[in-house]
């Protein structure tokens, strides 16, 4: 009862909420329970194995139980992540087609469950010139969104820029979005990952830098299109193009950067989801409490 009471009495209700990616072991119905056990105000999950295989069927009973758990525990917003193997720009037609199919399936599954948004990575340009790879990515995005009428947002997650990865720069993502129809863009938003952005050359280490990056995001992509932030410190150095998530305040971004993000009024209604390492019991709680302490000082 203590956990449920905390979730229902979230003092930051209808504003920026702090959550984390949780396990669905035993079924998606366990995700909100797992989130509540660590005091998360929102959560993110997969609805299938992130490494492949058939997606478990979501029957009416399971969906109803999942929604009941969310209601009981006070979760009005939650998020879904697609599997890791997505590559809309693959030279292998099966991989490219399957990537679009899986994203669309996950978008429909997320909408069935009542998720606020589903986010995905786009893939890599390693098989083609970048121009061709980007055109293939556009085709994949069009397949994902064709005829979609759900309420769950579809989010492009900004990447860390390693190798030939697609979507690490604001300008590139903006170009991709502009190739889509106005109808499809109505369902589309952006997920900003702090570790990815930092690794891609967007400095987030202090208040001045955070304000500059958010202003740049607003100019190129529009802050109205920012629907979620993945809050991760970075073990890798600035502009390294290396994707290494780390504990809040213990990496290269540091507490000053996250303090600035939490305090920025432009982000007051954007949720933060932790994808920090789970090396030891209690890591999730420590990272959540760090963000909560920063918020309490505002």
Query: DSSP assignment of 39-78, as one string?
Result: T-SEEEE-SS-TT-SPPPP--HHHHHHHHHHHHHHT-S--
Q: What is residue 138's predicted lDDT score, i.e. its pLDDT?
A: 98
Domains of the chain plus CATH, in order, are 2-296 (3.20.20.150)
Q: What is residue 161's predicted lDDT score, i.e. its pLDDT?
A: 86
Please pick, among 184, 245, 271, 284, the residue that the annotation labels catalytic.
Answer: 245
Please pick, among 48, 196, 205, 244, the residue that the annotation labels catalytic.
Answer: 196
Catalytic residue list contains 81? yes
Number of helical (H) and strand (E) elements in the chain, helices listed first: 11, 10
Catalytic residue list contains 111? no
Q: What is residue 4's predicted lDDT score, i.e. its pLDDT?
A: 45
CB count within 10 Å of CB 23 equals 12
Please pick, among 111, 172, 184, 193, the residue that the annotation labels catalytic.
Answer: 193
Catalytic residue list contains 187? no
Q: What is residue 9's predicted lDDT score, i.e. its pLDDT?
A: 44
Residues 6+ apart with CB under 8 A from 14: 269
Please pick, among 127, 264, 275, 283, the residue that the annotation labels catalytic.
Answer: 275
pTM: 0.95
* pLDDT digits 0-9 by tens, 18-46: 999 999 999 999 999 999 999 999 999 99
Between the two ends of the chain, the Cα-to-Cα distance in Å is: 29
Task: State how far the Cα of 223 lies from the Cα of 114, in Å rounded to an integer.
Answer: 24
Q: What is residue 298's predicted lDDT score, i.e. its pLDDT?
A: 86
Mean pLDDT of the chain: 95
Q: What is the DSSP letter of 263?
A: H
Task: State how far the Cα of 29 lies from the Cα of 188, in Å rounded to an integer.
Answer: 27
Catalytic residue list contains 243? yes
Task: State how far the Cα of 146 lies from the Cα of 240, in Å rounded to an integer.
Answer: 36
Instruction: Classify the C-alpha dihedral 95-273-154-32 as positive or negative.
Output: positive
Task: State how far the Cα of 48 lies from the Cα of 234, in Å rounded to an integer.
Answer: 27
Pairing of strands 245-246, 272-274: unpaired
Query: Which tokens belong to 254?
Result: 């540091």
Q: What is residue 114's predicted lDDT score, i.e. its pLDDT?
A: 98
Contact (CB, 8 A) for 164 and 124: yes
Contact (CB, 8 A) for 73 and 40: no
Over the chain (298 residues), what is each successive 10-residue block's mean pLDDT? 43 77 97 98 97 93 98 98 97 97 98 98 97 98 98 98 94 98 98 98 98 98 98 98 98 98 97 96 96 94
Query: Which tokens belong to 8?
Result: 């229902």
* pLDDT digits 0-9 by tens, 214-244: 999 999 999 999 999 999 999 999 999 999 9
Q: What is residue 227's predicted lDDT score, i.e. its pLDDT?
A: 98
What CA–CA distances, in Å, run from 42 to 11, 183, 297?
13, 29, 21
Catalytic residue list contains 247? no
Task: State how far the Cα of 189 lies from the Cα of 183, in Å rounded to an integer.
Answer: 13
Pairing of strands 233-234, 245-246: antiparallel
């Amino acid at each position: 009862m203590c956990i449920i009471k905390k979730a229902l009495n979230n003092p930051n209700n209808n504003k920026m909420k702090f959550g984390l990616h949780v396990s669905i072991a035993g079924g998606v119905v366990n995700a909100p329970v797992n989130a509540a056990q660590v005091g998360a105000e929102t959560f993110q999950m997969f609805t299938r194995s992130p490494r492949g295989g058939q997606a478990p069927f979501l029957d009416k009973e399971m969906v109803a139980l999942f929604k009941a758990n969310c209601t009981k525990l006070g979760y009005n917003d939650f998020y879904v992540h697609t599997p890791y193997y997505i590559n809309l720009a693959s030279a292998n037609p099966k991989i490219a087609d399957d990537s679009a199919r899986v994203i669309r399936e996950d978008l429909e599954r997320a909408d069935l469950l009542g998720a606020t948004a589903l986010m995905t990575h786009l893939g890599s340009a390693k098989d083609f010139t970048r121009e061709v790879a980007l055109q293939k990515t556009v085709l994949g995005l069009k397949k994902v969104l064709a005829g979609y009428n759900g309420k769950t947002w579809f989010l492009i997650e900004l990447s860390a820029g390693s190798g030939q990865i697609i979507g690490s720069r604001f300008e590139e993502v903006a170009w991709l979005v502009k190739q889509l129809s106005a109808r499809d863009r109505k369902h589309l938003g952006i997920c900003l990952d702090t570790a990815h952005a930092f690794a891609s050359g967007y400095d987030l280490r202090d208040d001045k830098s955070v304000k500059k990056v958010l202003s740049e995001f607003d100019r190129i992509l529009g802050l109205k299109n920012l629907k979620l932030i993945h809050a991760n410190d970075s073990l890798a150095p600035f502009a390294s193009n290396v994707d290494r998530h780390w504990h809040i305040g213990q990496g290269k971004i540091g507490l000053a950067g996250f303090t600035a993000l939490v305090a920025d009024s432009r982000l007051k209604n954007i949720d933060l989801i932790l994808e920090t390492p789970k090396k030891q019991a209690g890591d999730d709680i420590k990272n959540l409490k760090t963000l909560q302490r920063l918020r309490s000082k505002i």
